[in-house]
Amino acid sequence: MGEKLRITLGAVSRPLESLKIKTGDWGAEYPVVIEENCKACGDCVVYCPDLCIELVETGEVDEKGRKKKVAKVNYDYCKGCGTCSVVCRHDAIKMEIKEIYKG
């Protein structure tokens, strides 16, 4: 006995169910944030087509007493397009080849 297929009225879908699709395994490359270069300008956040970069607090405080932030990539969804590394004006994101694609 298989499980019943649940279908909705007129194929209405629930919001944001795409989040269960982990697209992080699509690409051959992945971005690495060089935290000491990151100015938390947010460019990578704005450009990322996969909405998988956010600015997070480092726990440190800068010279003006503001909480330091840095770009953080959610690798569950990153497709490795490299847009973030291209738009970064501070050389704070470099692309690396995934281990399995090396050699």
Partner 1 sequence: MSENMRLFGSGHGACPGCGLPIAVKSVLEATGPCFVANSTGCLEIISSQYGKSAWGVPYIHSVFENAAAVAAGIEAALKALGRKDEGPVVVFAGDGATADIGIGCLSGMFDRGHDVLYVCLDNEAYQNTGNQQSGLTPPGSSTTTTPAGKVLPGKVKAKKDMPAIALAHKARYVATASVAFPRDITRKVKRALEFEGPKYIQIHSVCVTGWGIDGKQAIPVARLAVETALYPLIEFEDGQLVRVRKIKDRKPVEEYLKPQRRFRHLFKHPKGKEVIAELQRVADENAKKFGLDA
Partner 2 sequence: MMKVVRGFYAVAYSVKLCRPDVICAYPITPQSEIVENIAQMYANGELGNCEYITAESEFGAASILVGASAAGARTYTATCSQGLILMSEVLWNAAGMRLPIVLTIANRSLSAPLSIWNDHQDSMAMRDAGIIQMYVENNQEVHDMMPQAFKIAENHKVLLPMMVCMDGYKLTHAYEPVDLLSQELVDEFLPPYDPPVKMTTKEPYTFGSYATPASYMEFRVAVYNAMERARKVIEDVYKEWAEISGRDWGGNIVAENCEDADVCVMAMGSLVGLVREVVKELRDEGKKVGFIKIRTFRPFPADEIAKAVDNAEKVIVFERSLSMGSDAPVTLDVKSAIHKKAIDVYSPVVGLGGRDVPQNLVKSIIEEVMENKVEPGTYFRGLKDYEEVIV
Site string for partner 2, 3-42 (x = CB under 8 A): --x-x-xxxxxxx---------------------------
Pick the binder of partner 1 from 30, 68, 74, 94 (CB under 8 A). 74
Q: How far is CA 37 from CA 19, 30, 32, 49, 78, in A?
A: 30, 18, 12, 22, 21
Closest CA to 92 of 32, 28, 48: 32
51 binds partner 2 (CB under 8 A): no
- Residues forming contacts to partner 2 in the complex (CB under 8 A) are 5, 7, 9-15
